[in-house]
Amino acid sequence: MRVSLRNQYSNFLYNMQKTQSRLMDLNMQASSQKRINKPSDDPVGTGRVLNYRSSLASIDQYRKNIDTAKGWLNLADESMMQVSTLLTKLKGLAEQGATGTMAASDREATSYEVRQIFSQLVNLGNTRYEGKSIFGGQKFEGSAFEEALMAYDQDGKSLGLVTGQASRSFVVQFLGPEGTTATVGTDTISYRYSKDGGNTWSDPANVGANGALELGGISLNLSQGYSVELSPASNTSMAKGSWLTIAPTAVYKGDHQSQSAVLYTAGSSTISALPLGGFEKDVHVEVLGTVLAPGSGGTFQAQYSVDGTTWTTVTVDNATATPVIQTPYGGVQITGTGNLTGLEFSVKSGSTGVIQMGAAVNAEGRGLFSSDVMVRIDNDLPVDIGSTTPISYSYSTDGGVNWSTGHSASNTTAAAELLVPGGKLVLTERTGVVQLVKNAQFIIHPQTAAHNVEISAGQYLQLNSIGSEIFGGYYENGTQPVFSDSDVGKNIMVTVGKLVAALENNDQQGCGEALDELKKGHQYFTTQLASVGARENRLDVADTVLSGLKLNETERMSNVEDADLAALLTELANQQLSYEAVLKSSSMIMKMSLVNYL
């Protein structure tokens, strides 16, 4: 059979290109030391490698998150250790001030050091990591604490924050016949104050009709109906009569975790109330008299009650569109277009607030919610709360992107309970409005201060700290300090402020009381420090696990992707010989002709 030169040439090119291509592939594997350099090398293996790379990228991101969290927590740990050292020193100074052998001049000298330590505590509470406040919850940009003044009576009961600043504390005495009781807003009450522990006094003045006390650049407003016991100017003992002390403290400006919801009992359904501050107790609020819409100007009267029996009247500035009614446990901001006349509501502590869209009923979240939960009414026809018609609804935990549909709630009682992740949405009647319409929405909106980072798949850790839960202080709204219900002794900022006042006013008993509170506060602070340490330990464990997981994933990816270097070099040498053989044999064949045989 005759073989044409064309066929010979084609076979030559095919063999040369095949061996050359294989040689190039082997050279590429040798240079990269990887068996898979493009998807066609191993399509199945390529998919596995991509999965491994994605997993390794996630591990690297988790470890970056851990590194950031370590920075936050290490700084928090260091700052809190310094606070613990300062508290130990303060206990020693308080103990000195509580001894009977210490003279007034000695307490005065000690007060200078204690006041500086107080300022240092505030500075430590405002510690920043990369410019972000580590003790301010999720309010990273501003300072967590701000120095201020507080007022409390002879029994240590808080009267709230005072407007203005002062370089030292002072006391206020209400003057009159011994044993006489006077009421703010009803009686004429005379008072005087001293800034040097009672050595010298200001000229007496009268409490204003609105309860205002002017204290040399400092102003304090007592609530209407506040009662004081009078004592003569000759009395210098706080055991007789009513006294007030103005002392340094700190206001917490960051986020808090306290949950509260508003339930309305009367008034226009176009008015909404928003709790401000950390409500530790339920507070009932009523607007008094005839009042126009929010922002209509002037002032109006409101009253609040914590126990449902004793009521306190407060004056509310209505010059802005969002007036705030102050209560002991926080303020309540009022908004809306309707009149405020007859408005009554309760701020319910422990329940989660709910934002309403397309509805005007009473709504509260009950349960433990880590993020917002949206609830949508799906009934085609309007349904009344308390009727026998079941309430059809859907909910979303991702801001309305995806909805879980087909849910139904019983509707046979005055309170309809709609089950959602984390708890339930409870709906009740509000001043005659009981109807729910299709597509009305509710957003269960928890108050959150924790900033969590993902340290492994589905595992989160809080990297920031909530300053009010560690240092105490006062919220911006309300007259009661943090921990006032549980144990005010936990409140470091308040306790140290009282110690400053006791030393500056030569109050031996006050120093002893401050010492007892400092012991409680330091013990509580130690548990908070342990919490930070526990989170640091968890980060170390998580980082160790991720380090081992990364080695494991890398090894498994290497088994699929990397080349066997010894086998690769052997195959490369063989392929080089094959290529050279193809070139040589082909050149010999292509040179054959009849002339070679003549």
The DSSP annotation for 337-396 comes to SS--TT-EEEEEETSBPEEEES--SEEEEEE--SS-EEEEE--SS-EETTSSSPEEEEEE
pLDDT score for 589: 59
Give Dmax over CA atoms of the chain in angstroms. Answer: 150
Given a contact cutoff of 8 angstroms between Cβ atoms, the answer to whether 478 and 326 are in contact is yes
pLDDT score for 111: 94
What confidence tens digit (pLDDT) does each residue in 86-100 have? Answer: 999 999 999 999 998
Given a contact cutoff of 8 angstroms between Cβ atoms, the answer to whether 149 and 161 are in contact is yes
3-state secondary structure of 245: strand
| DSSP code, position 203 | P
Compute CA distances 139 → 126, 145, 255, whole Å. Answer: 12, 11, 6
What confidence tens digit (pLDDT) does each residue in 176-223 have? Answer: 998 899 998 888 999 999 988 888 899 888 988 888 899 888 888 888
Res 597 pLDDT > 60: no
Average pLDDT, whole number, for the chain? 87
- The residue whose two tokens read 């044999």 is 585
Res 496 pLDDT > 80: yes
CB atoms within 10 A of CB 446: 18
Predicted confidence band at 535 (pLDDT cuts at 50, 70, 90)? very high
Region 101-115: mean pLDDT is: 91
Least confident of 427-431, 465-469, 520-524: 427-431
Least confident of 204-218, 230-244, 392-406, 555-569: 555-569
CATH architecture observed for domain 44-144+450-470+508-562:
Up-down Bundle (1.20)
pLDDT score for 12: 64
Predicted confidence band at 349 (pLDDT cuts at 50, 70, 90)? very high
> Which residues are bridge partners to 224 per DSSP?
313
Residue scoring higher pLDDT (165 or 595): 165
Region 276-301: mean pLDDT is: 91
Please name the residues in contact with 202: beta carbons below 8 A apart, sequence gap of 6 or more: 192, 193, 194, 215, 216
What confidence tens digit (pLDDT) does each residue in 59-73 have? Answer: 999 999 999 999 999
Region 242-254: mean pLDDT is: 94
Res 374 pLDDT > 80: yes
> Which residues are bridge partners to 367 per DSSP?
423
Least confident of 102-111, 135-144, 557-566: 557-566
Residue type at 242?
S
- pTM score, two decimals? 0.83
Q: Where on the phi/psi map is residue 349: left (φ > 0), alpha (ψ -120 to 50), or beta?
A: beta
Task: Measure the CA–CA gap between 598 and 585, rounded to whole angstroms.
Answer: 22
pLDDT score for 532: 94
Task: Measure the CA–CA gap between 219 and 39, rounded to whole angstroms.
Answer: 77
Region 448-453: mean pLDDT is: 88
Q: From 155, 188, 276, 177, select the one nearest 230 (Cα to Cα).
A: 177
Q: What percentage of residues in the chain have a pLDDT greater than 70?
A: 85
Res 1 pLDDT > 60: no
> Which residues are bridge partners to 311 per DSSP?
none
Question: Helix count (H) and strand count (E) of the chain?
Answer: 7, 33
CB atoms within 10 A of CB 443: 19
Res 33 pLDDT > 80: no
- The residue whose two tokens read 């064309």 is 6
Region 114-121: mean pLDDT is: 96
Task: Measure the CA–CA gap between 284 and 305, rounded to whole angstroms.
Answer: 5
Predicted confidence band at 48 (pLDDT cuts at 50, 70, 90)? confident
Q: Spell out the domain ranges in the chain.
A: 5-33+563-597, 44-144+450-470+508-562, 145-252, 260-444
pLDDT score for 206: 92
Region 494-511: mean pLDDT is: 94
Predicted confidence band at 359 (pLDDT cuts at 50, 70, 90)? confident
3-state secondary structure of 81: helix
